[in-house]
Structure 1
């Protein structure tokens, strides 16, 4: 691979990084207790399918996730209420005993003194430069963990005296974390006791109370929605005796059996790693996606391809016509033909002749060959656009399988190169990781070189030209003149081939755009139409929109601008009649 600079054969020098340091902690934040906000999961197969699209078919679902997606009626689980209510009462009693025993208010002062005592010898150290001394004093006074971490980075690790001070800063950071925990303990629960805990005891008390509150929340959720699987049984056993858990375990076992049966009815399959979506579940999920698409469409938009009447068609119509030489015997309307012979014979024994024969009129629905190009470049990860693209692909696949089984459908994965997607492989498509973050990239790779493979390429570029070239090859084998390409992308191409030379150019280069337009023109000459579906992106600008219009117009197709991840509203620019109209 080479760079496209003054010397195209000179590779860029490798850059190294000397990053390192300590793990950052921030007061009041715990990524386990406070995970990042996420959208609420959907229910049923649709919710599980959405999660699978985010990470591929290797995604396995836990019993808790199944319980969220597949709801069991509370009346189906006998004894659920009494067993859970008893556990809630026991945990609440344990929590109340803790609150009636301890008084953490004095412990806050002790934790604060502990921080000051650890910082005092460092503030008095002569080896500490004055600028760092004032900074340390300020950060300790304001209880700023982040400021202490930054000071740790600034101290000279090669100076023995500063290195000794540097080594003691993590201890102050840890004490500040304890202080924050004790303050949270004091402010988070209504303590009425008189026993003062030590700092270590206070941290342990807070941990225990948080575990109890978490279990109580799980039990209340299980009671409200008949979902005992959401309760962490291992955690619960630390607080409840085995004898008191027996009733709940029996109820939970019944619920798990009902959940297992419901999951299998939905087409889910269980293996050693958990539950996964089987072929039946995938078909259900695709049908759900298709139904949601139809639900947002007007009735006038529904229907099949326009039919063509043919003598050897496969769909019989009520109307008949006289038999002609060459008509297939399968189209013969035998009762009507015999009746014609009886009428002609005037009541005598019927003698069937050629003039009596009639055949059903038949028709054949037109075939259509479609190639769907799915952009899996690095930018498609933004906003989860790749999930929307895969949903669209699965919906289209379900539609063709159900309504147009004679049609041909191909999927192409597009990134720095393009390649066909095997049947059932859409689910596993994922946006490629960004491996180069330079503001300007000018790379060339000789793909005829056996020493250069796809694994050597940065994968996150967008090669529309190669995808269109591959589309032409797939459509060339189609036995129908109705050929189309559907391109789902978020902007300009950044890669193209010139013979065996692969160019990766960012920002988007006119050279790549010209190569892409040439391939689109070749597609149009072969009688195929291309529709461009342009999804939004953080980096999208007016030039992306103009390019989408030019690309679609060059093949007599249209461009569709989506208005968000839900794809609930499309602004369609139809280049066939030069009108703009709205679908949805």
Structure 2
């Protein structure tokens, strides 16, 4: 006995875990999701919508909801294109034809048969109507001479009885194979008792005891083992509604033929009367089920009544899954997905894909990269902005390091002061080691690999971290970005935001002494923090108010008189608006002479404040080209006309070059007219 118990315990220990999310599953990687969400947010989507769009699209190696929805649609299309609804009629006709053929053979062989009786039998067989139901009805009193023909004919009645029962009770068709008259009688008794139980429940009577008695007597007919009458009704009503949808999908001729044939089920119309009463009770108890729907099935494989009802249940499941996967209703969430239904229709791998997406969504919400604001909206946190900014800055660095004249310096101004940060050592670094971090890395690595640290640790190159330094040069930077509608219309909206975020990340992480101000200008200009700019949606008001933006930049420069002013202007259009003395906006197109004059006047103020100015001209507008060229000559500035994918490279390179020679040296030319290139 002890050996047996040990064997049972050991077998139970390795069963699949079904208590919720797999506690041993590795943590999900949110980096790809965060990058995709950031891109969508910069394109104008809310973080909530961006997250849902990523879950819908999926990742490089991660299935999304759209792919699962496609598989659901393919599964539905497969069911409807493979099957048709005449399976039972076809089977009945085959049995009838075989019975008639066997009877004719017997009549021809039977030499002892009276000629008159033979002639009468042959005449009856010859005059059978083309309708299978009518032919079966006419032959119900026929005296068969062939025992095989009689068995085939009785098989029609048995087939119909099992099919109509299988429509209501899944699996009964096989259970009643070779059933006796007693088995059929027990089945009819169960249907009558069930109808009475449901009628009592519909009247509001307490049916708990009655349900227990019913299950004790007829429970073998219900392998799903319902726990109460409500669960029993749910199961029966779903299948009965599917049977009705199957009937609705048939032609009128098919319905009439099957109705007539069904009266011959088990050789008596009593069964159909009992089933009709049962259907009526189920309709009354579950009016919310789909009793009126239909689907067209136009394949070659005929379905019996029971199998066809199962297919219509599958179609209903697939339709529900399609709605759940669409996530288009108010308050929708991934937890709404019925994973058991999904596994039943698409396999366990589909359910596993959804569980992974659920874990990813929860990880995004728990990671600190998304938060609920006071107005209830989901927003990117500063942590998410820093992470996204580092990714964008890394992309800028990779692009710049491959350009002629660009420097890929992996150290922050070595002649500067320690920034308090450290990073992993790379070949060519000359900064001093961060000893504390280096030793800590070695201890952690040794302990994680099972080694002993009591007698010291061995330092490997991967453990080494170096101190980062930042230059002493201080700059006061104003990045002016055009937020007019044309920027979005021409596909420049996201590159503009990516550029601003990359520059913001560079300044706040490597040049903390610099003061960066972001100004967006459309009809009005506005000082924005990075979260506001990244989440900015497209505006449809006309106007490019560079005059107002320059006025805000000059105010920023005046507040930092000891810093080097750096003015960076990203635009795709000539100034078409300016700010009046009363604060109202004047707009005109083509640009009004007064607008141009006031814009030039503010630019002259920037020059007197010592600003190093760079214009980033987007697009091929000749009017804009003439304007920015003349403005740059006026203030001894620079004009850059980058491709959209190089906008970030151009802005970052110009910022670094404009900070002055103290970091890079006078004779170190950088990209786009700058003085050199630094990247961390």
Q: TM-score, normalised by structure 1?
A: 0.48
Larger helix fraction of residues: 2
- Structure showing greater radius of gyration is 2
Q: TM-score, normalised by structure 2?
A: 0.42
Larger strand fraction of residues: 1
